[in-house]
Structure 1
Amino acid sequence: MPEITRDEVAHLADLARIDLSEEELDHLAPQLTVILESVASISAVASEEIPPTSHAIPLTNVFRDDVVVPGLTPEEALSGAPATEEQRFSVPRILGDEQ
C-alpha cells in the first residue's frame, strides 16, 4: 500500500478545516499510513462466510409505536429565539465564501 504523503495530509486537513502545523503534518502522515495498512490487513482476513457484524451477540432495539400529536406552530417554536427571519432561526455566518 502506498504511503500517505505530507501533501495528502495537508489536503485532507484543509478539507476538514483543520489547521495543522508543519510538525503535525510530518507526524501524522506516517500514522495515517499505519492506520490504513491495519484496516487493509483486517480486510484481507475477512471471510465471505462470516457476515459483517457490529456486535458479538445479536441485539434487538425496542421501538415505540409512532403516535401523531399536535406540534408547535412556527410562532411557538421561534418564541425563545434571540433572532428570527422569515419564520427561521437567524444565526451568524460561520463559513467564508471560499467554498
Structure 2
Amino acid sequence: MAITRKEVDHVADLARLELTNEQSEKLTTEMNDILKAMDKLRQLDTEGVSSDTHVLNLSGAFREDEVKPSLAREKALANAPKHNQESFVVPKVI
C-alpha cells in the first residue's frame, strides 16, 4: 500500500498544515519509505517470540510492596508554600 500525494495533502489539510509542493513530495516519499520498512519487518518470522520480549534481559523489575518508614507529614509540609495541615495546596488547573 502506497501513500499518494493526494492523501498527504488531504491529511495536511485536516491538520491545518500549509505545505509547499516540495514539502508534500518529500513527505510522500518519506511516508512510503516508512511503509516499505514496515513491510520488510512484517516478513520476519516471529513465531514463538513472546510479546513481552525485550532486548535487555530484565528480571525482577517489579518488587513486592512493603511498608517502610517514610517522611513525617509535618516535615513534608514544613517547606510547602501552602498547605492545609494534611496536604499540599496548589492552584486549580483546568
Q: TM-score, normalised by structure 2?
A: 0.56
How many percent identity over aligned positions?
28
Give 1:30's aligned residue.
29
Query: Where do residues 2-81 of structure 1 align in structure 2 (5 Å cutoff)?
Result: 2-53=1-52, 55-59=54-58, 60-61=60-61, 65=65, 70-72=86-88, 76-78=89-91
**Offset of 1:58 from its aligned partner?**
2.6
Give the number of equivalent residue pairs: 76
Whose radius of gyration is greater, 1 or 2?
A: 2
TM-score in terms of structure 1 length: 0.53
CA contact (8 A) 1:3 1:30 kept: no
Runs of 5+ unmatched residues, structure 2 = 68-72, 74-85
